[in-house]
Structures are given as C-alpha cells and as structure tokens.
Structure 1
Amino acid sequence: MSGTEKAMQGVADTLREFWAHRPVRPRAGRKLGGVATGIAMRFQIDPVIVRIAFVALALAGGVGVPMYLAGWLLLPEEGDQVSPLESLINKGHSSMSQAQTVLLGLLMFPALTFTFGNGGFQVVVTLAATIACIYLLQKNRGHLQPATTLVEPPPVPPVPGAPAWDPLGAAPFAWDLPEPAPKPQPPAPRPRRPKVALATLGVAVAVGIGSGIAGMWSAWFTAPHVIGLLIAVLAAGLLVGSFVGAGRSLIWLLVPLSVVGFGMTAIGFDGPSNLGSVAETPRSVTDVKSRYEVGVGSVMLDLRQMPDSGEVKTEVEANLGELIVHVPKNADVTFNCEASSIGELDCLGKRAEGTTVQVGGTDLGENGNGGLKIDLDVLTNVGEVKVLRD
C-alpha cells in the first residue's frame, strides 16, 4: 500500500470513528435542533463557536442550512436509540415522529437546490473544508467524552456544638481549644492562553495589505473576494482557538464581516460604481443623455421642461439608491422599471415591491396618442424607483 493510500485509509478510519461515536443532540440548552450544542458537548468546545460556524457556513453560499438539517436527521437525540432518519427505516426508536422526519427531509430539497444552484465552486470548497474540520475534530478531540454531572452523596450533618475543625465530633476532649488560624494560600497562577486572536488579526492584516497590492495587477481581488479571504482567515483562527480555548473574541469581527460579505455577494452589483447624486433637467431632445447612472446614491431626472414633440430614449440606473423620473403630462411614455434584487416600484400607476420585481408598459398621458415620445428604462439592484406624471 502506497503512502497516499495509507493516508486516505487513515482519513476514512477517522471519519468512520466519528460516525460510530457521533454527537448526541441534547434536550436541554439547545436553540433549535440541538446540532450545534451536541457537537460542542461531544468535543468539549464552546457551543457559541459551533453556532457561529453554522451561521458562517449559511452565509457562504447557504451551505450551513442543509448541513444543519442533515445533522438534525442523522444525529440521535438524547435518550433515543437511533437518529430520526434511521428510525424512519425501522432501525430503532427515535422520539421524533415520522411526520417531522419526513418534513425535515423535504426541506433538504429546496436547501440543496439553493446552495448548489447559486454557490458553484465555492460550495465544493466549503464542503471540502467542512469535512476537513470534522476530521481534525475527531483526530484531535475524538478521545474526549462529553462532560457528565456526577451524583455526589448527601453531606453528613455536623454534630451540634462541635467546632468547625471537628464537625463530626470525633474529638470532644479538644473542643475547648481555639479554632486554628487558616493557612494563607498563595494566589493561583493565571493560565497563559495562546495569543490566537492576536496572531489571526496579524495574518488578516497581512492578507488585506497583500490583496490591495495584488489588486494593482489582478482584477480578481475585488472587494467581495478580499472580504471572503478575510473571513476564511478569521474562521481558521476561530477553529484553531477552539482547540486551545482561545480566540473567542474573533467572533465579534467575523459576524459583521460575514454579513457584509453576504450582502455584497447576494446583491451582485455589476453596474456603475460611483457614489453621489445626479439631478438633471434637460430642456431639449439633444440635452437628454442616453444614460444617467450612479453606484450608490440618487438620480432625479425631470423631463417636464421638454418640448411637446420629438423622441427621446434614455436609461436611469443605480446599484443602491433612489431613482425618480418626472415626465410631462401629455407625453407618450414607454417604460420599464425593475429592481433586480429588492426594491419598491411606483411607475405611472403600476406598483410592485419585494425581491426581483418589474413593471412596464405604455402610458399615453392625458391627451392620448400624440406628442413627445419617451422610451424609458429605470433599473436598480436595491432601492426605490418612481416614474411620475405631475
């Protein structure tokens, strides 16, 4: 057997050992299904760290959602013989009903569809990293057992009148002696914890600076990609800290950074990137630009000073912000309003709000067909769109 085959065999054995001694979902102290709490108890790490890991995985393309559902289905509950999924195929008893098990199984389909439909290569990498973390946990902490509460015998009540140094009255002839002075105890030395958080922050700063320099030569180092690298560094530091009982303070930086990264990747900005506001009032057909755009901000386009004849076509676009277009009362307007991620639309009497909304049509104004013709596209990723005739 070659060295590679031996290594793969060792990984397989470790994962089989993890399954044989898999975590048990407790009935007390859990927030939802007890998956995170059970993993934390099994490997004696902070439950908060495990919960944060699931949240980070959920933000990383949605991987954390099907993984949590899988843990709910495959890990037995405290006091049960087998997991809910095993109970469904008659391998033993589980306190979860078959109907609940089937419902959880059905929820896996939309969760997996969303994850693999939107994540691509990122999902594969995240799953591989998760399996590697499970392997490391089992390899380094698999020998540990969940902490149990010992049942201590009830204390023996003291004999009435006995001094504190002889509560059971074993030496009544010496009860008249004074109480011995307590022996001073030296203060216990504080254990020195590894400076995992400080080292992780140093690596994160180095990665940030290196990404900024590399961005001068490579277009790959965009803001979402750099944030993803920083999240990976902080998550790795948090994982290392879970083994040595340090680094928990990294959570306060990882959570907001994960939220920002999720927002940037979910919204998918690919339009204009400038910041500010635009306000234009063209008075002739030639004054109208083909496009008015802003990255984050507002655009106000007032076409009410236009003449009563002619044709104009323009686009108003933003990544995040408010877009308002005023059109003349008698103009013939063909319009398309859209919020590709989330927004609120109010375009010549047609309204819509929510995620990925769009309205459009043709409005001939008060005088019917005839007059200035306007072809208008108003597009945003996130924000408010208004086309008003006033």
Structure 2
Amino acid sequence: MENNTLTQMWETRPPRIPEDQGGKAVIGGVCEGIGARFHIDPTFVRVVFVALSLAFGGGIFLYLLCWINMPRFGLTRSPWSAIITPKQQLTAAEIKDRDTGWWLLLGLFLFLPSVSVAGDLRAVLVTFILFAAGWYFLHQRQPEPPAGLLVGEPEEARTSNRPAVDTSHLTVPEGHEHPGQRPPAWDPLGAAPELWHLPEPSEPAPQQAKKRNWFWIPVTVVLTILTMVALSFISEWRVGNYGKFGSADITVSDIDHLPDLDGFIGETRLDLSELEPLDTPRTVEISNVAGNVEIILPDNVPVDVNCKVSFGDTACPDDTQNADTDGELLTLNVTQRAGSVSAFYARDNPGARE
C-alpha cells in the first residue's frame, strides 16, 4: 500500500508552470506548479523554499532537484527524463528541456561541494525530510490532481466532479496537447473548440477549489510552539557537554581537552581565557548550523580566529592575537550557517564569564 502511495505521489507530481507559458513564475515555475497541484498559494511555497535555504541550507539544492524532475506544463517528460531518453525520440520542446536539464545537472554538481561539510550534509538531510513530509501531507490531503493540469488524464478523470484548476490562460509547446482543452465527449472531432469550456450536458461544471490559506496559520503556530518546547527539553542534554542541540558552556585550560566541536542548533560559549601556552601548533574546527557562537580568547596564547557565517553577523579579530607572547599558534576555524559568531577578550566584556 505504501509503495502504491509513493508511486502515485510521483506519477501525479506537479508540472512546472514557467512565465513564458503564462504562469507567474519567479524562476523556473516550480512553486507555481506545486501551488496549482495542491491548491495552495505559490507565495507560501516560495517562502518555504527560502526558509529552508536560510535555516538548513538545502533549499536551493532542493529547488534545482525539483526543477530537473518536474515536466513543464503540457509535457510528460521532465528535463532529467529528457536527458536519459534517446534524442531521436524527443520532440523539439523536449530537446529544449534536455538542454535545460544538462545545465541543471551542472548546477547540482557545482552546489554539492558547498554542502560537503558533515554538518551541512545533515542540514540538507533535514531539508529533504521536511520537504518529503510536507509533500506526503499535501498528497494525503489531495491525492487526485486537479482536472486539466496533468497530461494524459483519462476521459473519466477529466469529466469528473473533482476540483479543477483554471489553465485556460496557459499555453503549451507547439505539437503538444493542452491538458485543460481536450475535446469534450460531445465534440469528439474538435469542431467547436471555442465551446469546450462548457460542461458536459449530464455533468455539473467543475468547481474551483477554494484556497484554504488560513489553514497554514494555525499549523505554523503549532509547529513553532512544538519546536520551541522540544528544543527547550533537548537543550538540557547539551549544557556542560557539547552535543547537537541546545546550549553548551565549555571552559578549557588544557588544549588536549579541546576536540573539534561539531554542533547543529543552539548556543555555544567557549571560554579559553585560562588556556595554557601551547607546545605545538594546534588547529581546532568549530561548526554549527544555526545559533550563536561566542569565544573568549586567551591573553597569553597566539591565536588566529577565522570566522565564516553564511547568514548572520561576525565579530572576530582579523589579525593574529597575542603574536608577541610565548608558545605556539592556536588556529580556530569557526563555521556558522545561520546566526552570529563573536570572539573577544574577557577584559573587554566583563559579563561574558558570568
């Protein structure tokens, strides 16, 4: 049964509705197609992709993956399907999508190195899990696609009373069938296309589904509250010991007790003010996906602090600190996807050690 559901999800996946076919697409028509398939506002879908990009970093990769696997409106082959199909079997429009597919494939490979860090890979995995869960939920809510949206629907599906989507303003590539403008049963020869919008004599006109955008407001509020409660419990597991979630307060006086720190979501406070001079050079990697990282620097150890934040603020010294002191160099490489990173001395912020 579950395999049948997954197969149906794939076979009824949304088409892309790009701007040059009459859609209101911003980029490739992915969000427009998802909105039309599941009767939700495309703006909400765009916000979801942006949020996934900012929070977990996988939104762009996910968008490109959707683009390469979603056929254009009026076509049955996606760019990826066009790539793996012999060229002589493709129409002119599908050959164009084949070229687009190669560019998308190149974009996916170029983007992949940017998520090669272990923490980033986990963030991308979270992105895919959230997207898959959302797709499954939407499919359960509306398993049948709106009439007139997908190519190749049987006649009984097209003339059924299920909600339809208005595609009369959309165009399809030359030589392809418009899924919303096929001859009705009463005009099998297609002699009166200007009257095809009329309902079947024995069937009521299909009703446009009402957009239930209000539905997402309580859902978003509930999910936000549950997330905050969950993190508040999870954070208790992290205090004093570095983990994946919550807040961590770490004080180190011996460099041998400072391993690489690889977190996920939360606040990290690393106090190195009592660190003893190093006998050998040492490099420490500190990474976090979302949250804040604060580092209290030592006064008697040469330190290089390299901070990188994808979305947020940094307040780290540019030059080597304490370069005239004895001991070997400590290099701190700090990577944060979303949030802030700061490195300072306790004397500059007396409250930092409280």
Q: TM-score with structure 2 length normalisation?
A: 0.50
Higher relative contact order structure (alpha carbons within 8 Å, sequence separation ≥ 6): 2
TM-score (norm 1): 0.46
Indicate the structure (1 or 2) with the bigger Cα radius of gyration. 1
